[in-house]
Amino acid sequence: MSTCSLNSGAQPNSTRNAKRGRPRLSMETVVHRILVVLYEGCSWRAIHSPEAHWNSVYQYWRRWCRDGVWQQAHAAHAPPASGNTRFVDSTHVKVHRAGSNPAGGQAAQAMGITRGGLNTKIHAVVDLAGNPVSLQFTAGQVADVTQAPVLTAELTEGTVVADKAYDSDPLRCALLEQGVRPCIPPRSNRKEKNSYGKKTYRKRHRVENFFERIKRFRRVATRYDKLTLTFSSFVYLASMLSFKK
C-alpha cells in the first residue's frame, strides 16, 4: 500500500480535536433553560434540545450552586429592608419520590417524615414589604421555634411577629436581650398569658404571602432535588424573581 493511500484517510490532529466535545453555550441560553426547570418543575432531561444539551446546562447549574452564586446574588440584589418589623414562619415542601433517596441518608439533606409524608421545611424571616431577610432549611419534623434564634440572631431593634408555634420563654427572653420586642400570641395551655399587639399581629400574612409567591414556581412547590444545596438554590432564585420593590 502506498504512502499516499495511508495518508488519504488521516486527518490533522487539530481537525479531530476541534470536533471533540459540545459547543459552548451562551449564558442567555443556560439561564433560560434553568428558568424553564424552575417554573415548570420538569426534569433536566426535559430541556434537552439540539442547541443545548441538558447535561451542559445542568453542569453550569451544579457549579454555580456549589460556588454559592445564587445565595450571593440573592443578597446582592435584595431591596433594602423595609421597616423594623420582621415576620417569622415556616412552610412545608413535599419531597417527590425522585429526590427521596439521597446519598448519605435523608436526614443529612433536610428531609424528614411528618404526618403528610416526607417533607422539607423552609423557615423564613421577611420584612414589612414581604421580602426575605433570612432563610433556613430543615427536615419537615423540626419544630419552628428551634430555628427562630438563628433566624433572628442579627436583629437588634424593632418587633418580631410570629404565631403560637414560637411561644417560648427562652425565645422571648433572647429577643428582649437583643432589644427586640416579641409579638407572639400565647399558647392556650399557658397559665400566665403574655400580652401582644393584635393590630401588629394581623400583618403576619406578609410571610405567608412570601411563601405563596415562591411556591408559584413548581421546582419550589415540590422538592425534586436530592441535595439541599440544589433545592435551596432554586428557592433563592425564586425569591429573587419574587422581590417586591
pLDDT tens for each residue of 103-123: 999 999 999 999 989 999 999
DSSP codes, the chain: --HHHHHHT---HHHHHHTSSPPPPPHHHHHHHHHHHHHH---GGGG--SSS-HHHHHHHHHHHHHTTHHHHHHHHHPPPPPSSEEEEEEEEEEEPGGGS--TT-SGGGT-EEETTEEEEEEEEEE-TTS-EEEEEEEETTS-GGGTHHHHTTT--SSEEE--GGG--HHHHHHHHHTT-EEE-PPPTT-SSPPP--HHHHGGGHHHHHHHHHHTTSHHHHEE--SSHHHHHHHHHHHHHHT---
Query: In the chain, where are the structural domains located?
Result: 82-226
User: Which residue bears the cell 437583643?
Assistant: 178
User: Would you state the CATH architecture of domain 82-226?
Assistant: 2-Layer Sandwich (3.30)
Return the number of other C-beta atoms located less than 10 Å from residue 224's C-beta. 21
* Cβ contacts of 22 within 8 Å, gap of 6 or more: 53, 56
Angle between helices 228-241 and 205-214 (to 10 degrees): 110
What is the per-residue pLDDT for 192?
86
Q: How confident is the model at residue 23 (pLDDT cuts 50, 70, 90)?
A: confident
Average pLDDT over residues 211-226: 98
pLDDT tens for each residue of 171-217: 999 999 999 999 999 998 888 888 999 999 999 999 999 999 999 99
Task: Report residue 198 as a C-alpha cell.
Answer: 393584635
What is the per-residue pLDDT for 181?
96
Alpha-carbon distance of 200 to 147, in angstroms, equals 22
Q: Flag whether pLDDT at 2 surpasses 60.
A: no
Q: How confident is the model at residue 11 (pLDDT cuts 50, 70, 90)?
A: very low
Q: How confident is the model at residue 20 (pLDDT cuts 50, 70, 90)?
A: low
Residue 116, Cβ density class (10 Å: 0-12 exposed, 13-18 middle, ≥19 buried): exposed
Task: Report residue 215 as a C-alpha cell.
Answer: 411556591
What is the per-residue pLDDT for 1?
44
Q: pTM score, two decimals? A: 0.88
Side-chain-side CA neighbours of residue 106 (13 Å): 19
